[in-house]
Amino acid sequence: MAELTYFVHQSLDGYIEGPNGEFDWPVMGPELSEDSRALGERADAFLYGRVVWDMMSGFWPEAEKHSDDPHDLAFAPMWREKPKVVVSRTLDKADWNTRVVDGVDKVAELKAAGEELVLFGGSALAADLTRHGLVDEYRVFVHPVVLGGGRPAFPASVGRLGLELVESRVFDSQATLLRYRRA
């Protein structure tokens, strides 16, 4: 069976966005940028929940018009070309080579059919997928910032989860990767 990887940026105090929804704090230096591109290249499809999809589809289609950041310029063409899957019960269709599915059972079917998936952010969907035993690897990037509140990377609904640390690494003297597999 194919694997599903949860790729998430979090603050030192465990949040994926600040108290007011801010996501302007992850540091995407050259090493971290290359690592995320390499993971993206290996994936058959990018996976999103509705909220993260709205954010991603509002930026990546025309990223070059809004940013001159080297990471953004390198990742944008891959994002546009890569097949994408959005899990949503309210979205009917989406542009940019995107399928919409209505639940985690459909994600399980994609994995069973051999699709390697990378879930970029989205703690609610990650929690749901975790509860159903569908996440195989957690790639948590801890950034040197304390947000003091916001949306947690792992909501309480996940419950207790035993994991095995398979890699830790510092990128660009800034972000620390903690890569875990299900125990």
pLDDT (tens digit, 9 = 90+) per residue, 28-48? 999 999 999 999 999 999 999
Tokens 């891959």 locate to 78
| Torsion angle (degrees, nearest 10) of CA 170, 78, 134, 167 | -20
Any idea what the CATH number is for the domain that residue 107 is in? 3.40.430.10
**11 lies in a domain?**
no
Q: How many domains does the chain have?
A: 1
132-148 confidence digits (pLDDT tens): 999 999 999 999 999 99
Would you say residue 87 lies in a domain?
yes
Q: What is the mean pLDDT of residues 97-111?
A: 96
Domain boundaries, position 119: 27-172
Nearest-Å Rg of the Cα atoms of the chain is: 16
In the numeric block, which tokens belong to residue 69?
């950041």
pLDDT bracket for residue 76 (50, 70, 90):
very high
Predicted confidence band of residue 157 (pLDDT cuts 50, 70, 90): confident
Residues 126-138 as b or e (16 or more Cβ within 10 Å = b) = bbbbbeeebbbbb
- At residue 51, what are phi and psi to the nearest 5 degrees? -65, -50
- Res 121: pLDDT: 82
Q: Is the residue at 18 inside a domain?
A: no
